[in-house]
Copies of this chain bind each other. A is one copy, B any other.
Amino acid sequence: MPVTTTLPSDLASWMGTIQTRVEAALSRGMPAADRVPARLHHAMRYAVLEGGKRVRPLLAFAAGEVVNAPPERLDAVSCALEFIHAYSLVHDDMPCMDNDVLRRGKPTVHVEFDEATALLVGDSLQTLAFEVLSHPRLCENPGVQLDMLSTLAIASGTRGMAGGQAIDLAATGVTLTLPELEFMHIHKTGALIRAAVKLGGLSGERADPSVMHALDQYAKHIGLAFQVVDDCLDAEGTTATLGKTAGKDAVQGKSTYVSLLGLSRAKALAEELRQSAHDVLQPLGARAARLGALADFVVRRQF
């Protein structure tokens, strides 16, 4: 797999613009840190702000370009996605789950605050995701908005992210087959990435079914690629470059693409998935260029 450490300058610039925009939307979308209950609000902001690549918002904005979605609506969609993602990280890091102390280069929420606060932070961020997405007049067509809410809920629940987490939990110390590993990741990380692309597509309010289908195929490839690359980085990276504890999959006895395939076959799989993602975008033409560039980024990133 060819590895580039620098991004194409137009992608880097676009990513920077969206990341800055989303950071501002996230900050506006959460209660101020001095508002009662202040400790909880402070901890929510700590968990969400100044960290993360914002991959899901980037995917939503890029999918939104395909359907000419208004950026204000994509801001709300991005907040909902990141609040769900952040809630899952906060809870996954807790002592009764992965018991991790470092996330995005900072102490995890239960370390910086306390366990009870971390529990409430996760709970409240999940609620806030649905609050921001149910805001009156977010969409011109309230039926589309309901579809967004339903999509996010299904992707986050036991048929999606939380279900994947439960499967992951049950699989610790057990060697999975490749199909079992894929099944877990399709749920644990794939479902929310797929939702990110779909929500971006729905933000245009009148996307045609063939476009939505192409977006969904793209999202499936990218979701899996994202996890394969994560496994490679976890095996190769250092805590400093990752901003989270490196090598913990091996320590926890978790099956990964690297443990099942070896590093070089895992990298080849990621590259295949990147190519498949480009292939399904083909019929969408130039308006999907950003999604293609993001596929390259997801597979070739170093962190």
Contacts and interface: CB of A to CB of B under 8 A. Distances in A.
Contacts of A128: 153, 157-158
A31 B142 contact: no
A56 B113 CA distance: 33
Interface residues of A, number: 51
Contact of A31 (B127, B146, B158): B158
A275 interface: no
Interface in A40-60: 40-41, 44
A145 B142 contact: yes
Copy number in this complex?
A: 2
A91 interface: yes
Given A39-B170, A131-B153, A153-B131, A97 B116 contact: yes
Majority secondary structure of chain A interface residues (helix, strand, loop or mixed): helix
Given A91-B119, A142-B146, A157 B131 contact: yes
A147 B134 CA distance: 7
Contacts of A152: 130
Contact of A134 (B41, B116, B135, B146): B146
Contact of A131 (B44, B115, B145, B150): B150
Interface string A139-152: 00011011101101
A166 interface: yes
A172 B44 CA distance: 21
A119 B119 contact: yes
Contact of A150 (B94, B123, B134): B134
A136 interface: yes
Given A96-B116, A134-B150, A153-B131, A163 B91 contact: no
A147 B167 CA distance: 34
The 5 closest A-B pairs by CB, nearest first: A96-B115, A131-B153, A37-B166, A134-B149, A142-B142
8 contacts: A31-B159, A36-B163, A96-B114, A96-B118, A128-B158, A136-B147, A142-B142, A149-B149
Interface of A: 31, 36-37, 39-41, 44, 87, 91, 94, 96-97, 114-120, 122-124, 126-128, 130-131, 134-136, 142-143, 145-147, 149-150, 152-154, 156-159, 162-163, 165-167, 169-170
